[in-house]
Amino acid sequence: MFAPCPYLPLHVPCHVAALPVLGAGLLSFRRLLPAHPGVCDHNMEAEDPVSHLRNNLNCPICWEVFSNPLSLQCGHSFCQSCIHTHWDREAAMPSAFTCPECRLSFPQRPEPQKNVSLSKVVDDMKALERSRAPVPAAQTDTSAHNAVPALCQRHHQGLIMYCSTDSRCICIKCLMKGCKHHDLQEIDELSAQQKMKLSNDLLASDCLQKHAEEEMEKWKLKIENMKVFYEKIVSGIITTFEQVRKSLDECQILVVNSVNCDKNVALTQAEDHVTHLQRHLDELQKHRAEAERLLRSDGVTFLEHLPQLVPVGVAPGSPNIQQCGNLQIEAVTKIMPEVTRLLQEELPNMLHPEKPKKKCQDYRNLKFNPETANKYIEISHENCKATHKLHFRKNHVSDATKKFQSWQVMCTEGFTEGSHYWEVVVSTFFVEVGVAYGSLKLDSTIGRNSSSWSLQLRSMHHSFWHNNKETKLQSPMFAKIGVHIDLTAGSLTFYGIQNGSLQLLHSLSWPFSEKVFPVFWIGEDANVTICTMPNTAMDAVTVGR
């Protein structure tokens, strides 16, 4: 019976593991290996002579080139460290010391001699390999390089398996020595799988690339549109300011001309009066000269010429000159400070509106007015919650003179002056939050007329409505809305609230001329809840519609 070789790995292919090796020798073992370039003897003619020589100078134990080769009496040679390691293992066994190649037994541990000739051949082979070092692949023709069978760089043997553990292709020597317990796969099979995977990845990458290119083109178009959009805005702003400057210049000319006109009238009247006074003064001086001359004459002459001395009339009265410049001064001093305030205060505030603090004296705790609620709107939670029911309210007040015909409800509180702020939470984006004059018609919808302003909340976008004109807002979706109205400054601002942070949604200036009430339009199956704050000052709040 043949004894199994103790140096065969446990996980080599079955046709290799089943080889009988006792007495067969290294060359017989090679003849039984599967056909593979650079491994089988029938391909030896195509094998490089140096590689062929190297294959015959391998130790049968470690499958490496001999290192300090020692020869036994049977003629077989081994590395010095390999044969001594083999016999160290056998020393613990009851059997005698044996040759690992032919299994010849020795009664005592042999003392092998150095094989000087074999050692010289090994040294010459290594020197020959160093002199014939391969040219790097990057410096060779790729097609010719790919045509050469792939060899193990370490053992110069044909690559037969792929070791997933070490992530490299291995030869039979790598398999025997270090990879016998590793995860091994056939090169062709694994290569086909990985090529298929890479091809699929490339297809997916093509889709991603196409999507990225389309997205890039879309954003390039958006950028161009944004440039045009903002250029139009800038052009419009410049035109508006030029018109303002032109209007100011025209107003200045108008006021100055008005003052100059009044000045000319007043100066003409004054100068005419001075002319009349000068004429009267000349007449007085002439009369005085005639009188003095008569006084110096004799009595006959005096009496004869005295009747000819005409008395001078009374002095001309002072004219009533109206200095109308006071009217222009009053008009300018009354209007220009307001214009200056609008330009220096209101305009910057609209560009960078101050976000109201939640805990401020302007916060208002509102209540829904059930008398104004549409028949589908149910008021609950102490008049702080309004819900759109899909059926009529059985207990709703029958008086329809105060009720909205559309799905709306107005708050009890109304404001005529001062600054006010409140917050609400909506259940779905099917709601409108706004303000309206108390004169809003019951069949009207907020934002669709000149008496109301509304922020429309929809799932796709938010919009601002006034006088039936829509302004779409580019903003995120917010379920909590803050409303700030300053009737003194004439401003209305809507905020989106998230995690206590306020984001401006829309702001406008408007000269509110009537009492303003919070109003809400509530879509089907939606509800609005008013946020209340304990101990909030309710200054300047008036009740009633």
Do 490 and 517 meet the contact criterion of CB atoms below 8 Å apart? no
Burial of 420 (0-12, 13-18, 19+ CB in 10 A): buried
Tell me the CB-side half-sphere exposure of residue 454, using CA atoms within 13 A: 30
Q: How many CA atoms lie within 13 A of 532 on its CB side?
A: 13
Question: At 318, is the secondary structure helix, strand, or coil?
Answer: coil
For 464, phi then psi, to 5°, come to: -110, 135
3-state secondary structure of 423: strand
Number of C-beta neighbours around residue 526 at 10 A = 19
The pLDDT profile of the chain, 545 residues, written as one tens digit per residue, is: 334 344 433 333 333 333 333 333 333 333 333 434 344 444 444 456 667 777 778 888 888 888 999 999 898 999 999 988 888 888 777 677 889 889 888 888 888 999 988 888 888 888 877 776 555 544 445 544 454 568 888 888 889 899 999 899 999 888 887 887 899 999 999 999 999 999 999 999 999 999 999 999 999 999 999 999 999 999 999 998 999 899 889 988 988 888 888 888 889 989 999 999 999 899 889 989 988 998 999 988 888 888 888 887 788 888 887 766 677 777 777 788 888 878 877 777 777 665 555 446 789 999 999 999 999 999 999 999 999 988 766 555 556 677 999 999 999 999 999 999 999 999 999 999 999 999 999 999 999 999 999 999 998 889 999 999 999 998 888 999 999 999 988 999 999 998 888 899 999 999 999 999 999 999 999 999 999 987 544 443 333 44
Order the strands of the 527-531 sheet from edge to edge: 377-380, 385-388, 527-531, 419-426, 480-486, 491-498, 501-509
Cα–Cα nearest to 444, from 416, 411, 468: 468
Q: Which two tokens stand for residue 535?
A: 């101990």
CA end-to-end distance (rounded Å), the chain: 115
